[in-house]
């Protein structure tokens, strides 16, 4: 059969146009919670990337001699216990809290996803070894284990990222292993083996594309758990350390002033809750698209 390679660029253009049309159709069908969630996620991303430009004051600058100054045009959300601008620290907190959580989740997925797929297609002894190790780590409460490890190795940002990533990788390992094992017994995988395809090709072309939508949805959920874990560690004093702005630390430093009618401590707590809820809205929308539930609507 003759294949006209001159038509390849035209086919590529048509394919890209088709994907863009599908994306526009999915965006038009987006529910209002998903749109709100997307808007919030984009807003947080802009805050994290352009924090030095958006913040009126520096992250650790003492800009007022009055601790816990009231809200004003100069200090939109007042000042904290040291006279630092709360609004500026909220913006920088997006960079620290969200950025570190995203990096941690990415590392966790690389570790857990890679080992899960490897375990699914490897010899039984390696599968047993990796599964036993994951089960052992999952048997220990994650927050307590993280507190112990941070007390031993210190609360530096690299320690926080690596410890939380390794502990979170166990759940990702279990999910990716289960998904990959279900795909590995399919007939098209057996056909690929009979054709003489290598394991790397089978994983990249057959297994990974079939489990990727579920893993992407799990990425969003796992990001929420990692984000909340880091915030909880900061609230307990073993997370991101001062003078770096972190929403969990900001809640801890000013929590007692809620009893005096000062709602400023609620702002970082509301920022944490809003991001978590928004990501869940986006995940629900993504799962509807990936599963095809919206196709007939």
Determine what percent of the chain is predicted with pLDDT higher than 70: 86
pLDDT greater than 90 at residue 248: no
Query: Could you tell me the pTM of the whole model?
Result: 0.80
Q: What CATH number labels 33-52+89-291?
A: 1.10.3720.10
Q: How far apart are CA 41 and CA 131, in angstroms?
A: 34
Q: How far apart are CA 228 and CA 38, in angstroms?
A: 19
Give ∠ CA 52-86-103 in degrees, rounded to 5. 55
Q: How far apart are CA 15 and CA 12, in angstroms?
A: 5
DSSP structure class, residue 96: I
Q: What is the pLDDT of residues 170-227, one digit of tens each?
A: 999 999 999 998 888 888 888 887 888 888 888 888 888 888 888 888 888 888 888 8
Q: What pLDDT does 15 receive?
A: 47
In the block, residue with structure tokens 């039984």: 124
pLDDT band at 253; cut points 50, 70, 90? confident
Q: What is the pLDDT of residues 62-105, one digit of tens each?
A: 888 777 788 888 888 888 878 888 899 999 988 888 888 899 99
């Amino acid at each position: 059969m003759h294949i006209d390679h001159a038509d390849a660029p035209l086919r590529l253009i048509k394919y890209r146009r088709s994907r863009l049309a599908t994306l526009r159709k999915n965006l038009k069908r987006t529910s209002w919670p998903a749109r709100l969630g997307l808007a919030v996620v984009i807003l947080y991303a802009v805050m994290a990337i352009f924090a030095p430009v958006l913040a009126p004051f520096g992250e650790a600058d003492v800009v007022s001699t009055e601790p816990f100054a009231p809200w004003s045009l100069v200090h939109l959300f007042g000042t904290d216990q040291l006279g630092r601008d709360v609004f500026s620290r909220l913006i920088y907190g997006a960079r620290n809290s969200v950025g570190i959580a995203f990096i941690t989740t990415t590392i966790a997925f690389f570790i857990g996803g890679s080992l899960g797929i490897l375990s699914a297609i490897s010899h039984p002894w390696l599968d047993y070894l990796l599964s036993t190790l994951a089960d052992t780590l999952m048997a220990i409460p994650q927050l307590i284990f993280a507190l112990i490890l941070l007390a031993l190795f210190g609360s530096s940002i690299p320690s926080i990222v690596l410890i939380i990533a390794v502990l979170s990788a166990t759940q990702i390992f279990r999910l990716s292993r289960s998904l990959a094992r279900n795909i590995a017994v399919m007939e098209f995988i057996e056909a690929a083996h009979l054709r003489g395809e290598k394991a790397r090709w089978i994983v990249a072309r057959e297994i990974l594309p079939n489990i990727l939508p579920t893993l992407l949805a799990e990425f969003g959920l796992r990001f929420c758990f990692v984000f909340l874990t880091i915030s909880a560690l900061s609230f307990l004093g073993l997370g991101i350390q001062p003078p770096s702005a972190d929403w969990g630390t900001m809640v801890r430093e000013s929590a007692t002033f809620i009893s005096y009618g000062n709602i400023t401590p609620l702002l970082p707590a509301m920022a944490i809750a809003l991001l978590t809820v928004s990501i869940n809205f986006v995940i629900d929308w993504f799962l509807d698209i990936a599963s095809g539930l919206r196709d007939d609507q």
